[in-house]
Amino acid sequence: MAKTNTMRQGSTQKASRFSIRASATQKRVIAEAARINDTTISDFVLEQSLTAAQQVIADQAHFKLSKKQWKTFCDALDAPPKAIPALRRLLTKPGLFDANR
């Protein structure tokens, strides 16, 4: 798996420090994941926590629409779903793990 490093793209030097406490089991799991990703525990924890933080922030982002855009948006949400025959076939055909294949 390719190693990513989002934090280092924005800055070359880390200026602050985090300190966390973890149980022995938590540390073992995190250390194993870091090893699998071929990175240090610190870099792994920083990268994963940064990704999670960015997702939380993105989920809370607000956006503004004009009245016309808002109406268009609401109309799209209220419209009946489009018929997509290929999707209907896919969802009605027994799946790989269905007992009645």
Instruction: Classify residue 76: in a domain, yes or no.
Output: no
Number of domains observed in the structure of the chain: 1
Residue 89 domain-assigned (yes or no): no
Amino acid of residue 61: A
Q: Side chain identity at 67, as an amino acid letter?
A: K
Residue 86 has a pLDDT of 95
| Residue 54, CA distances (Å) to 13, 47, 49, 59, 99 in order | 20, 11, 9, 9, 41
pLDDT of residue 100: 65
Per-residue pLDDT in tens (0 to 9) along the chain, 101 residues: 444 444 445 556 778 988 999 999 999 999 999 999 999 999 999 999 999 999 999 888 877 899 999 999 999 999 999 999 999 999 998 888 887 65
- Residue 54 domain boundaries: 6-59
